[in-house]
Amino acid sequence: MVRLTDLPDYEREHLLSKAQPPLGPPAWTHLTKDLAELRVALITTAGLHFRDDPAFEFIDSTFRPISGNEDANNLVMSHSSVNFDKTGFTEDVNLVFPIDRFRELEAEGRIGSLADVHYSFMGAGLNPGAFKQSASQVAGLLKQDKVDAVFLTPV
């Protein structure tokens, strides 16, 4: 494991700026439906979007909708970090956005349905508080789509 003292100044300062107080106890909720009845959405912080959508900037708190009807193999990744290897994504999008696995779960009746739209954020560069507005917006969109559960793939 690398030590902070071994990092370049800019990277050390960037990481130290992310020191946050503990989040506190988790806010657990209890399922009111069986898994086979849940409507599920995927959210990733891999900076995914379709080629025609605007790319994510390095410091970007916005999100990109990902239609559940589109071919996930057409997604591109604008996540940029020297600490992140995109090789797995280029070989199989499901490593960071497991849409095909969830389509299989839906077909098998293990989950009720998939959301019409899923969402991607850029997971680098900003402190968590910067995402408050976008996260609230996505929460409203998920509610409109009657989503019961979210599967998050943090990258």
Six-digit token string for 66: 């990902």
Question: Cα dihedral sign for 152, 79, 94, 37?
Answer: positive
Distance from CA of residue 117 to its chain's centroid?
13
Q: Are 114 and 68 in contact (CB under 8 A)?
A: yes
Query: What confidence score (pLDDT) does residue 22 get?
Result: 80
Q: pLDDT at residue 81 above 80?
A: no
Q: pLDDT at residue 151 above 90?
A: yes
Q: Where are the domains of the chain?
A: 33-153
Please, what is the average pLDDT of the chain?
90
Phi, psi of 52 (to 5 degrees): -80, -10
Q: What is the pLDDT of residues 39-79, one digit of tens each?
A: 999 999 999 999 999 999 878 999 999 999 999 989 999 87
Phi, psi of 32 (to 5 degrees): -105, -5
Average pLDDT of the residues in 92-120? 96
DSSP string, 88-145: HHHH-GGGT--HHHHHHHHHTTSSSEE-SEEEEEB-SSS-GGGGHHHHHHHHHHHHHT
Instruction: State what percent of residues in the chain have pLDDT above 90.
Output: 60
